[in-house]
Structure 1
């Protein structure tokens, strides 16, 4: 049997732990209280204004039942607005507030710094190869996830 520390699942879990820790440290240093999922939600609403929570969950590959809590926290922080949809009374449309837009602009350097930190032990070519291989492995396993990535039309990515 292989050493558990050499298994892809263990390495992926460790990289995720490091990625979250680095992101949170950069946010704290910048004076913000945002998690990686909250950032992904804000950035996705910025590029898809008016989307509903279920679409948001698919676009960031997040569990549909848990996305409500993420959105609730962003609304409480004054970064998102949630309104009843004019097309479907059961759906909630999401919009960035001005504070949400300002926050995304203000944290951009910290987000970029976190990404650089994650690949700091790699050359540029190695970092590009890591990204290519991660995208390939994720695409191959997307359907195995409890929260598969979807595009804006609801198609699985």
Structure 2
């Protein structure tokens, strides 16, 4: 049996997991506010941006790239396809593989989303000085990279993320 001394007195606000969860809530809220009527979620944005950067990527590779499980990624692609922003095409070299391509409407939507995404990032980091932003992003990327394999949906890390955008 546990005594109150073993569980009482832990300050939740000093726990990194709690702070990270709170920052995630804030980040999503700011992102959605900046997107406004465009109605793109952070995960949809990530999928669109990756497909725009890597035309013809297959859905399984997309899932690993943005660190989502396959079924969640399938739902994201379904919603973007229903909007007319992504399309699935059968791969010529392997008829079982479906490649993803951004449509002209998807490119237009992404072009509208990028400034909103950048505003959201700026707003989230606004309390930090330029030096603190670089330090924060460096430390954040270290935590993500070093703990990647602990994720339920590990990302395919392609190298150390750049902090140039902050």
- TM exceeding 0.5: yes
Residue aligning to 1:15: 23
Please state whether the residue corresponding to 1:81 is helix, strand or coil.
Answer: strand
Taking the aligned partners of 1:141 and 1:149, their CA distance within structure 2 comes to 10
CA change 1:50–1:151 in 2 (3 A) is farther
Please state whether the residue corresponding to 2:107 is helix, strand or coil.
Answer: helix
Match of 2:34 among 21, 26, 29: 26
Tell me which stretches of 4 or more aligned residues in structure 1 moved more than 6 Å: none
| Residue 75 of structure 1, CA deviation | 0.1
Taking the aligned partners of 1:33 and 1:149, their CA distance within structure 2 comes to 25
Q: State TM-score, norm by structure 2.
A: 0.87
Residue aligning to 2:46: 40
Whether 1:133 and 2:156 are equivalent positions in the alignment is no
Taking the aligned partners of 2:136 and 2:157, their CA distance within structure 1 comes to 23
Mapping of residues 62-141 of structure 1, within 5 Å? 62-141=68-147
| Residue 151 of structure 1, CA deviation | 4.6
Q: Deviations over 1:8-46 (max 9, x none)?
A: 100110011111000000001xx3010000000000001
Taking the aligned partners of 2:58 and 2:85, their CA distance within structure 1 comes to 16
Match of 1:4 among 12, 17, 31: 12
| Residue 89 of structure 1, CA deviation | 2.5
CA change 1:6–1:124 in 2 (3 A) is same
Please state whether the residue corresponding to 2:38 is helix, strand or coil.
Answer: coil
Rg (Cα) greater in structure: 2
Unaligned runs of 5+ in 2: 1-8, 162-166
Q: State TM-score, norm by structure 1.
A: 0.92
| Residue 2 of structure 1, CA deviation | 3.4
Please state whether the residue corresponding to 2:70 is helix, strand or coil.
Answer: coil
Taking the aligned partners of 1:15 and 1:42, their CA distance within structure 2 comes to 23
